[in-house]
């Protein structure tokens, strides 16, 4: 296909501003599907993973292609969470322009700033789509000014300041060049289709030269194995062609292309030949990794590798060592866990793994990034344990430095005091505060990543679940003093057995319970949160002794307060340095690192 008829565009935005909904509308209105397919399809076509559908977020960047007026438009849908920004960094290399989606009420948010800066550094042509203009609290003029200020701050050349702005209701499939007087009037995404064709440049490529393709993404299936995905920068590629794979270290491996695929809608179609400017998927090159170059067999020239920002959080992940190990998981050994993590490294570019005894230290971009990996392993049948997240420091000019984040909090005015108190304890530095048209207060803090660990659950509790928190990497600063723990002590099971209603009824007065009656426990397992600062051992398996005495009060049915069932993220936030989280396909169990109470006391003394 003529490269002048190809457009490669990435859709970027903050989380929940409507990227994936916009892509779905473009897919449906381009007649990529038959009518009955569009009706039968799920609400968000691009969020195909189980966790993506359940969490309502995009986790991995995905490619799709649509045809419009003889033009082929390759669209890359990117994640909106800062934890998955590595996905954005690696996929922007395939695009020639970006569509920046901004919520008409919220305006530019932290991740908007991050992804836009990456796009403008690469010299990509921007188009702004102001989405959700039907919101009652929309601020169209103010948001336009905020977007202009953002471009003035981030633009690398004057041309990037001349961006077109469109107005849309992505959910309804409507878009306009200017704000319509009546939002109910008939409209479609034709203005956005035309903007992509007219404002996004055609790929600047050389069809005549020798082959160059930078591997930007990898995927697998059980039939053809590994797919290497990327944009052809130069030349052309054919099925069964001999090529060279230029590795990161400069070594060259000879390979042969087995099959060649192009994208159409959500499917890959097999083709015989593709030319510079197009995005393709190639099978047969089993050694390909992200950031490497597939080049001409006789004249292998490497493209610049993809540079990804460093991880900020790490945690221990190793085989389960509890008394219940091996009961519920299919894969339980250190070797099986290590093989799976090495496979994950091929596609998860922001992840780093290194061995640590029988386990591994896994480093990622944030708690959400690591928890998605943990949940994936759990669903695949792995059984393992993890420790408390730790900050990843760097040494610069002989000084140890830790990562810092810009944290933006939106909360109702009555909770501002509770937020300020917690941020004071964690040494957060306030940069600004403003009142929003919705009545909420927006506060901006500079806070260390170390202080962010466990913050979300505390804030949700303090604000009755109404807080909105977003963070953005903000560089590094000198490592500060230790932040005091504000969590109360744990309620620890004293002996193994099955928890009884009788024992739990007396334990309720000690604190908040995490287990129901009839749950199997072991000595050293955490069963609740104490009302006081220190840990407390309790017996939750004690049974009521039978006697021949009868009374109205003792013979009544036991009524227990419903227990608190912690999610995976809440468990990770909960654990302290001397605790572990046991993860199996069936259960999450909190436990002390040292199960024996005497050993715990010895270790506590030695650490003082």
Residue 388 lies in a domain: no
Residue 85 has pLDDT above 70, yes or no: no
Domain final residue pick, 422, 452, 478: 478
Q: Among all chains, which residue has been given the structure tokens 């200020």?
A: 149
Is there a single domain that holds both residue 153 and residue 240?
Answer: no
Residue 322 lies in a domain: no
Is there a single domain that holds both residue 289 and residue 407?
Answer: no
Is there a single domain that holds both residue 471 and residue 495?
Answer: no
Nearest CA among 473, 582, 457 for reference residue 529:
457
Residue 369 lies in a domain: no
Apex CA 134: angle with CA 131 and CA 140, to 5°? 60
Share of the chain above pLDDT 70, in %: 91
For 279, residues 6+ apart whose C-beta sits below 8 A from its C-beta are: 8, 63, 65, 74, 94, 229, 230, 231, 232, 262, 263
Among the residue ranges 26-30, 101-105, 317-321, the one predicted with the least confidence is 26-30
Among the residue ranges 296-300, 477-481, 501-505, 550-554, the one predicted with the least confidence is 550-554
Q: How many residues are present in the chain?
A: 608
Is there a single domain that holds both residue 26 and residue 166?
Answer: yes
Is there a single domain that holds both residue 39 and residue 138?
Answer: yes
pLDDT single digits (tens) 527-583: 999 998 888 999 999 887 776 666 555 555 777 888 888 888 889 888 888 899 999
Is there a single domain that holds both residue 172 and residue 252?
Answer: no
Q: Domain total for the chain?
A: 4
* Structural contact between residues 209 and 249, judged by C-beta atoms closer than 8 angstroms: no
Distance between CA atoms of residues 446 and 349, nearest Å: 27
Is there a single domain that holds both residue 50 and residue 104?
Answer: yes
Residue 324 lies in a domain: no
- Entry pTM: 0.79
- The CATH number of the domain holding residue 16 is 3.40.50.300
Domain final residue pick, 296, 329, 356: 296
Distance between CA atoms of residues 112 and 118, nearest Å: 10
Residue 188 lies in a domain: yes
Residues 184-209 have a mean pLDDT of 85
Distance between CA atoms of residues 471 and 482, nearest Å: 21
Residue 451 has pLDDT above 60, yes or no: yes
Range of the domain at 406: 394-478
Is there a single domain that holds both residue 511 and residue 424?
Answer: no
Domain final residue pick, 275, 296, 317: 296
Residue 344 has pLDDT above 90, yes or no: no
pLDDT single digits (tens) 414-434: 999 989 988 888 888 998 888
Q: Among all chains, which residue has been given the structure tokens 């006697």?
A: 547
Residue 129 tokens, joined: 């789509």
The pLDDT, as a whole number, for residue 70 is 84
Q: Which of 396-400, 410-414, 545-549 has the highest mean pLDDT?
A: 410-414
Is there a single domain that holds both residue 10 and residue 140?
Answer: yes
Count Cβ atoms below 10 Å from residue 372 Cβ, excluding itself.
23
Is there a single domain that holds both residue 451 and residue 535?
Answer: no
The pairs formed by 556-565 with CB atoms below 8 angstroms and a separation of 24 or more are 558/501, 558/502, 558/504, 558/505, 559/505, 560/501, 560/504, 560/505, 560/508, 560/516, 560/517, 561/508, 561/513, 563/513, 563/514, 563/515, 563/516, 564/512, 564/513, 564/514, 564/529, 565/514
For 267, residues 6+ apart whose C-beta sits below 8 A from its C-beta are: none
Residue 320 lies in a domain: no
- The CATH number of the domain holding residue 443 is 3.30.70.240
Is there a single domain that holds both residue 155 and residue 276?
Answer: no
Distance between CA atoms of residues 426 and 428, nearest Å: 6
* Structural contact between residues 394 and 310, judged by C-beta atoms closer than 8 angstroms: yes
Residue 425 lies in a domain: yes
- The CATH number of the domain holding residue 509 is 2.40.50.250
Residue 451 lies in a domain: yes
Is there a single domain that holds both residue 160 and residue 95?
Answer: yes
């Amino acid at each position: 296909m003529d490269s002048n008829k190809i457009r490669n565009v990435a859709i970027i935005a903050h989380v929940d501003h409507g990227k994936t909904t916009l892509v779905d509308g473009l897919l449906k209105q381009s007649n990529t599907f038959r009518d009955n397919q569009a009706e039968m399809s799920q609400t968000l076509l691009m969020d195909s993973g189980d966790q993506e559908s359940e969490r309502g977020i995009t986790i991995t960047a995905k490619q799709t292609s649509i045809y419009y007026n003889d033009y082929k438009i390759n669209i890359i849908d990117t994640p909106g969470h800062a934890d998955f920004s590595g996905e954005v960094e690696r996929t922007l290399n395939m695009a020639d322009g970006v569509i920046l989606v901004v919520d008409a009420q919220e305006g530019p948010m932290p991740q908007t700033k991050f992804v836009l800066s990456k796009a403008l550094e690469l010299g990509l042509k921007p188009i702004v789509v102001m989405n959700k203009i039907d919101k009652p609290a929309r601020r169209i003029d103010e948001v336009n000014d905020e977007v202009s200020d953002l471009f003035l701050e981030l633009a690398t050349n004057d041309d990037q300041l001349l961006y077109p702005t469109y107005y849309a209701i992505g959910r309804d499939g409507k878009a306009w060049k200017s704000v319509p007087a009546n939002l109910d009037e008939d409209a479609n995404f034709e203005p956005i289709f035309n903007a992509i064709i007219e404002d996004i440049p055609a790929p600047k490529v050389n069809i005549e030269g020798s082959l160059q393709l930078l591997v930007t993404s990898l995927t697998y299936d059980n039939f053809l194995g590994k797919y290497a995905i990327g944009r052809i920068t130069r030349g052309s590629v054919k099925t069964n062609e001999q090529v060279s794979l230029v590795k990161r270290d400069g070594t060259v491996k000879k390979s042969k292309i087995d099959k060649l695929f192009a994208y159409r809608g959500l499917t890959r179609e097999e083709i015989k030949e593709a030319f510079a400017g197009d995005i393709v998927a190639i099978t047969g090159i089993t050694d390909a990794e992200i950031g490497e170059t597939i080049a001409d067999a006789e004249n292998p020239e490497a493209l610049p590798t993809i540079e990804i920002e460093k991880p900020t959080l790490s945690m221990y992940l190793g085989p389960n060592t509890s008394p219940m190990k091996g009961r519920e998981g299919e894969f339980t050994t250190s070797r099986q866990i290590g093989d799976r993590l090495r496979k994950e490294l091929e596609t998860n570019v922001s992840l780093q793994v290194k061995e640590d005894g029988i386990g591994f230290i896994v480093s990622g971009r944030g708690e959400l990034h690591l928890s998605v990996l943990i949940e994936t392993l759990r669903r695949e049948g792995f059984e393992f344990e993890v420790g408390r997240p730790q900050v990843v420091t760097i040494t610069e000019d002989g000084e140890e430095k830790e990562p810092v984040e810009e944290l933006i909090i939106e909360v109702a005015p009555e909770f501002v005091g509770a937020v300020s108190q917690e941020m004071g304890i964690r040494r957060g530095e306030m940069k600004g505060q403003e009142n929003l048209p919705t009545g909420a207060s927006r506060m901006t803090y500079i806070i260390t990543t170390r202080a962010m660990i466990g913050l979300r659950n505390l804030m949700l509790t303090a604000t009755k679940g109404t807080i909105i928190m977003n963070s953005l990497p903000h560089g590094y600063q000198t490592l500060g003093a230790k932040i005091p723990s504000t969590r109360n002590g744990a309620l620890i099971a004293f002996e193994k057995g099955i928890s009884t209603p009788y024992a739990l009824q007396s334990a309720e007065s000690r604190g908040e319970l995490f287990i129901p009656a009839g749950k199997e426990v072991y000595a050293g397992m955490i069963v609740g949160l104490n009302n006081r600062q220190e840990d407390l051992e309790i017996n939750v398996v004690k049974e009521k002794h039978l006697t021949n005495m009868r009374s109205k009060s003792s013979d009544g049915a036991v009524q227990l307060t419903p227990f608190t069932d912690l999610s995976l993220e809440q468990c990770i936030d909960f654990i302290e340095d001397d605790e572990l989280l046991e993860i199996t396909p069936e259960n999450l169990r909190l436990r002390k690192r040292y199960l024996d109470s005497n050993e715990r006391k010895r270790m506590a003394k030695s650490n003082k």
